[in-house]
Structure formats: structure tokens, C-alpha cells
């Protein structure tokens, strides 16, 4: 789902949404702001509504120094929320790792545990304790990137397409209400956003998650 695709859909909402009255850049700038707002609302309703993951091979190159967290492009990982850290054992068994606040790293009451400081992941205990782990799986909500080009992909799931289109259309109505024919778009956009967020919340409430504390064997 790219900026250009959203812009094409927005143009079809109202005959007044022509490029001369509403340049593409206006829509791009709005989408860059709005997708961040919507992403924040989505995470409030369901923590894992926006999720990505990285795999960290084990053992770490330098256990004492920790592992720098990098995204798929090799850049420092930027995230708004950490979802889970899981240790994957050689036989495929997954063990949840407790990620504790940095200040509490010397007051741990459970294991396995880890902490993140300065963009580096540090594992608690001794290196030998982690020998059964073949890799670590970190899931997180990435920070929504700024949109700068028409072929940029939005960070939101495809299910948000209609919400994004209506919200952008509502913005164009507010910019020029006199020439807009579909003056109901702001109200339509508000209803679409609320319905989408309610759906996310209902999806989260329909799943009961049980966490069982386990240790390496």
C-alpha cells in the first residue's frame, strides 16, 4: 500500500479533488502525519496490531558487550513498543525471555531475562546459561517512518486502506469546503476510524493469552 495508491483512491472521492486545487504533496504530507496518529491509536487498542520481528543468532559475538539491535537494512532499530523476546532452542522449543527495565537488571527475580540499553540487547546471567538457545526472536512495533516519496509504502496494514483514504479525503474537504461536494467526508472518516479501532480492540479481547514460565532444559 503506497502513497500513490492512496492518492489515486482519494481523487475518486470527490470531483473537486483535482491536482490543481489539492496537489499530491498536500496529501502526502497529511498521510505522513496521520499514519503516525493512527498507529499510536492502534497500539493503544492492541499492543501487537503493528508488529515486526528480527532474529538474532546465538551465541552472541560478544556476550559482555551485548548485541546491537539493527533492522533489516542494517540501521539501528527504531521502535515504539517492544512486544516480546523469545529464545528459540535447538529443538524448536520457544522460551519467553523477560525484558526488564535497565535499573532493575541487578534485582532480577526470574530467568531468563534481558535488558536493552543504548540500542544494545544484554542477556542476564552467565553466557553458559544461554548455550541451549539457537537464536533469539524479538518482536516489536516499529517507529512509523516519515513519508517523503509517492512510491513509499505506508507502515500500516492493508486493512487500514479505507480509513486512510477517507481521512485524506476529509482533510481535503477541510482545506476547501466551498468547492467540495461530499461534505460528509469528515464525519465518514471519523466513523471509519472508530470502527476500525473498535475492530482491533475486539480482536484483542477475543484471544486469551496464557503465559507459562519455563526454564531452559
**pLDDT at residue 73, as a whole number:** 83
Whole-number Å distance between alpha carbons of 160 and 154? 10
CATH class of 52-142: mainly beta
Give the containing element (helix H, strand E) for 31. helix 24-45
Instruction: Give the pLDDT confidence of 35-50 residue by residue, as tens digits.
Output: 999 999 999 999 888 8
Give CA angle at 69 (65, 72), nearest 5°. Answer: 145
Domain with CATH 2.40.30 in the chain: 52-142
Give mean pLDDT in consecutive 10-residue pieces for the chain, a chain of 217 residues.
96 95 96 96 90 93 95 89 94 93 77 93 94 95 92 92 97 94 96 95 58 36
Label each residue of 65-100 as H, E or C.
Answer: CCEECECCCCCECCEEEEEEEEEEECCCCEEEEEEC
> Rounded to whole angstroms, what are the CA distances from 60 to 88, 123, 173?
14, 9, 54
Between CA 15 and CA 8 the distance in angstroms is 12
Model pLDDT, residue 216: 40
Average pLDDT in the chain = 90
Instruction: Please give the biggest Cα pair distance in the chain.
Output: 70
pLDDT at 25: 96
The answer for residues whose C-beta is within 8 angstroms of residue 172's C-beta and 6 or more apart is: 10, 14, 16, 17, 22, 26, 27, 180, 185
Amino acid at each position: 500500500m503506497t502513497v500513490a495508491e492512496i492518492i489515486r483512491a482519494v481523487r475518486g472521492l470527490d470531483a473537486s479533488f483535482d491536482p490543481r486545487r489539492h496537489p499530491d504533496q498536500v496529501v502526502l504530507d497529511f498521510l505522513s502525519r496521520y499514519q503516525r496518529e493512527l498507529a499510536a491509536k492502534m497500539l493503544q487498542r492492541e499492543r501487537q496490531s503493528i508488529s515486526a520481528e528480527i532474529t538474532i543468532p546465538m551465541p552472541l559475538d560478544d556476550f559482555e558487550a551485548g548485541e546491537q539491535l539493527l533492522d533489516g537494512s542494517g540501521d539501528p532499530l527504531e521502535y515504539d513498543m517492544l512486544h516480546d523476546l523469545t529464545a528459540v532452542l535447538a529443538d524448536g522449543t520457544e522460551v519467553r525471555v523477560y525484558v526488564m527495565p535497565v535499573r532493575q537488571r541487578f534485582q532480577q527475580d526470574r530467568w531468563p531475562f534481558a535488558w536493552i540499553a543504548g540500542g544494545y540487547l544484554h542477556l542476564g546471567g552467565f553466557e553458559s546459561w544461554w548455550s541451549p538457545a539457537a537464536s533469539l526472536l524479538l518482536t516489536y512495533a516499529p517507529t512509523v517512518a516519515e513519508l517523503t516519496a509517492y512510491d513509499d509504502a505506508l507502515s500500516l496494514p492493508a486493512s487500514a486502506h479505507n480509513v486512510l483514504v477517507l481521512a485524506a479525503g476529509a482533510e481535503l474537504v477541510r482545506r476547501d469546503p466551498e468547492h467540495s461536494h461530499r461534505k460528509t467526508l469528515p464525519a465518514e472518516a471519523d466513523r471509519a476510524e472508530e470502527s476500525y479501532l473498535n475492530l482491533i480492540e475486539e480482536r484483542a479481547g477475543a484471544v486469551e493469552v496464557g503465559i507459562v514460565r519455563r526454564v531452559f532444559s
